[in-house]
Amino acid sequence: MAAIVTDQFRILNANNFIETVENSANSYYIFLGLTDPGSNKYGRKADNNTWNSDTPVPEDSINDLNHVSDTMIFGKRVTSDNIRRLVKRVDWAAGTRYNMYRHDYNSDNPAPVSDAQRLYDARYFVMNKDFNVYICIDNGSSGINTTGNASQDEPTFTGLEPSRAGESGDGYIWKYLFSVSPSDIIKFDSTDFISVPSNWSTSDNAQIKAVRENGDSTVNGNQIKKVYIDNQGNGYKDGLGQEVSILGDGTGGRVVLDVVGSKITDAIVSSGGKGYTYGIVDLGTLNGSVNPAATGVFSKLIPIIPPGKGHGSDIYKELGTDKVLLYARFDDKDKDFPIDTKFAQVGIVKNPTSIGSTNVYTGSSFSSLGAIKFVDSTTLAPTIGEVINQELPNGNKAYGIVASYDDDTKVLKYYQDRSLYFNQTSNDQTDRVGVSTAAIVYSFDNDTTGGAVPANVESVSGFTGQIQTTYSGITTNPTGTKLISLGTEFTDGLSEPEINKGSGEIIYLDNRSLITRNARQKEDVKIILEF
Each of the 531 residues of the chain gets a pLDDT tens digit; together they read 688 889 999 999 999 999 999 999 999 999 999 999 988 788 888 787 889 999 999 999 999 999 999 999 999 999 999 999 999 999 999 999 999 999 999 999 999 999 999 999 999 999 999 999 999 999 999 999 999 999 999 999 999 999 999 999 999 999 999 999 999 998 998 899 999 999 999 999 999 999 999 999 999 999 999 999 999 999 898 999 999 999 999 999 999 999 999 999 999 999 999 999 999 999 987 866 567 767 778 999 999 999 989 999 999 999 999 999 999 998 877 667 888 899 999 999 999 999 999 999 999 999 999 999 999 877 789 999 999 999 999 889 999 999 999 988 999 999 999 888 887 777 888 888 888 888 889 999 999 998 889 999 999 899 999 999 999 999 988 878 888 888 899 999 999 999 999 999 999 999 999 998 877 788 899 999 999
- Report H helices in 279-356: 292-295, 315-319
Determine contact, residues 30/346, Cβ cutoff 8 Å: yes
Phi, psi of 21 (to 5 degrees): -65, -40
User: Cα dist. 289→96, 237, 262 in Å?
Assistant: 43, 7, 11
* Nearest-angstrom CA–CA distance, 21 and 88: 22
Question: What is the number of other CB atoms lying within 10 angstroms of the CB of residue 380?
Answer: 13
pTM for this one? Answer: 0.90
* CA atoms within 13 Å, Cβ hemisphere of 531: 23
Long-range contacts of 156-163 (CB under 8 A, 24+ apart): 156/128, 156/130, 156/132, 158/132, 158/207, 160/210, 160/211, 160/214, 160/312, 161/214, 162/137, 162/138, 162/225, 162/311
- Residue spans per domain, the chain: 1-87+190-196+315-368+499-531, 88-182+197-314, 371-496
Closest among 41, 71, 63, 69 to 419, alpha carbons compared? 41
Closest among 441, 457, 488, 288 to 381, alpha carbons compared? 457
Neighbouring residues of 362: CB distance < 8 A, sequence distance ≥ 6: 27, 77
* Longest pairwise C-alpha distance within the chain: 115
The size of the chain, in residues, is 531
**Identity of the amino acid at 82:** N
How high is the pLDDT of residue 288? 64
How high is the pLDDT of residue 3? 86
Determine contact, residues 506/69, Cβ cutoff 8 Å: yes
* Nearest-angstrom CA–CA distance, 199 and 135: 20
Determine contact, residues 198/80, Cβ cutoff 8 Å: yes
Closest among 150, 154, 153, 152 to 128, alpha carbons compared? 154
CA angle 88, 89, 93 (to 5 degrees): 140
CATH of domain 1-87+190-196+315-368+499-531: 2.60.340.10
How high is the pLDDT of residue 284? 85
How high is the pLDDT of residue 259? 95
- Report H helices in 38-93: 48-53, 62-71
